[in-house]
Structure formats: C-alpha cells, structure tokens
C-alpha cells in the first residue's frame, strides 16, 4: 500500500472538504493507506511568506462562492460560520492543532480519523456550528467520542509544553519543506513523492495511485 499523507488544519475550509473526499475513497482505493497529519495553517502561510487569501477582500469573495459550489457538488454538509474571521484572527487554531498532534500517538488511527472528522463537521456545521477551538469545546468532543478522560486531561495539562509544540512544529517543517504555501496538502509517498494542493485534485491522486476516480 502507498501512504497518502493529508496535512490539515481544522480551521481550513478546504481541508474540511478534502478530508471528506479522502475518507470516502478509503474503502475503494485499496492501494491507499491514509495518514492524517495536523499542522498550523498560520505557520504555513508565514513560513512561505504567503498571506492568507481570506485577508484579501477580492479573493475572499471568490473563495466563498467557490466553497459553496464545491460542497454542493460533492454533497458535503458545510457552511462558513458567521464569525469565522473573528475566530481565525482572535482565537486561532493553534491550541486544537497542538491537542491533535499530541493525542495522535496515544489513540488508534481509526479513532484519530473520526476525531478529526468530528471537529471538522462541528465547526463547519451548516445548522449549529460549534467553536471547537475553545478548550472546553474540543475537550468535550473528545469525551463524547469515549476517548479516555484521563488521557485527555493529561494532554491538556501539557498543552503548552515544548514537547507538544515541537510535534506540531515538525509537521509544519515537513509541509514547508515540500514547498507548501497553504492547505490542504496531500502527499503521496511514491517514488518520487508527489503532492497536490487543495481539494480539487482527487483525479490526480487517482492517477498517481492507479485508481479510478
């Protein structure tokens, strides 16, 4: 099997869409071993000297139209929260991404994938979005998924530790060294490795993996 590594940030709208598209292919693309890797989109933007397109009014207007078309085309429940920009600027996703980087090695892979999916779905829920970037909220999501409460508390108590920060920073470094400038990034660990940007390159991933779209 070929490892397909998905670099994501929960606050990234296109990461939400790409997560869904990749997960839908897991039962069908038998050659793919999907790996999820949390990163900080802010660190990717800063490390590549690429300002977020959401900060440009013209680009932001287009992105909102594009996201609407893409999620409708793929039938993915999705909406940008009304306070998205306020959350992105004032709260950010760093604490949640640190939590994901830390808990990933402590739980099984399928549980981790489901946890990531829950955060995506709850934040971009078209009817009742939840600000999962607040510690009490992302903690409750993990508890509701029956992840060991003691493990959750242990990680939360160490969330500001250099050890946990280093895990996310290493993931950021890998994405930047690929040439990443935004999210999502989907890396196929073939020979040589190949990666695509965005959520509209599933046909190219299928081609690389010799799978049908």
Query: Encoding tokens for residue 195?
Result: 């990666």
Question: Residue 55 has which token pair?
Answer: 């900060």
Catalytic status, residue 52: no
Q: Give the span between the Cα atoms of 150 and 112, in whole angstroms.
A: 17
Distance CA 31, CA 192 (A): 16
- CA-based torsion, 53, 201, 96, 175: positive or negative: negative
Among residues 12, 15, 52, 199, the one annotated as catalytic is 12
For residues 202 and 4, is the Cβ–Cβ distance under 8 A? Answer: no
**Pairing assessment for the beta strands 194-197 and 2-8 based on DSSP bridges:** unpaired
Residues making up the chain, counted from first to last: 213
The residues annotated as belonging to the active site are: 12
């Amino acid at each position: 099997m070929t490892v397909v590594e998905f670099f994501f940030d929960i606050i990234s709208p296109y990461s939400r869409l790409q997560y869904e598209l990749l997960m839908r292919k897991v039962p069908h693309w038998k050659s793919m071993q999907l790996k999820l890797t949390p990163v900080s989109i802010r660190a990717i933007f800063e490390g590549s000297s690429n300002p977020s397109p959401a900060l440009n009014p013209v680009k932001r207007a287009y992105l909102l139209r594009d996201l609407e078309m893409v999620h409708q085309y793929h039938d993915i429940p999705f909406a940008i929260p009304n306070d998205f920009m306020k959350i992105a600027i004032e709260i950010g996703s760093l604490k949640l991404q640190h939590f994901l980087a830390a808990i990933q090695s402590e739980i099984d892979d399928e549980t981790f994938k489901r946890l990531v999916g829950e955060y995506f779905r709850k934040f971009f829920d078209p009817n009742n979005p939840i600000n999962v970037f607040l510690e009490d909220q992302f903690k409750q999501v993990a508890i509701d998924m029956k992840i060991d409460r003691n493990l959750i508390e242990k990680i939360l108590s160490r969330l500001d530790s250099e050890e946990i920060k280093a895990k996310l920073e290493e993931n950021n470094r890998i994405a930047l060294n690929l040439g990443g400038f935004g999210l999502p990034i989907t890396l196929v660990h073939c020979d040589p490795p190949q990666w695509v940007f965005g959520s509209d390159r599933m046909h190219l991933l299928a081609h690389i993996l010799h799978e049908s779209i």
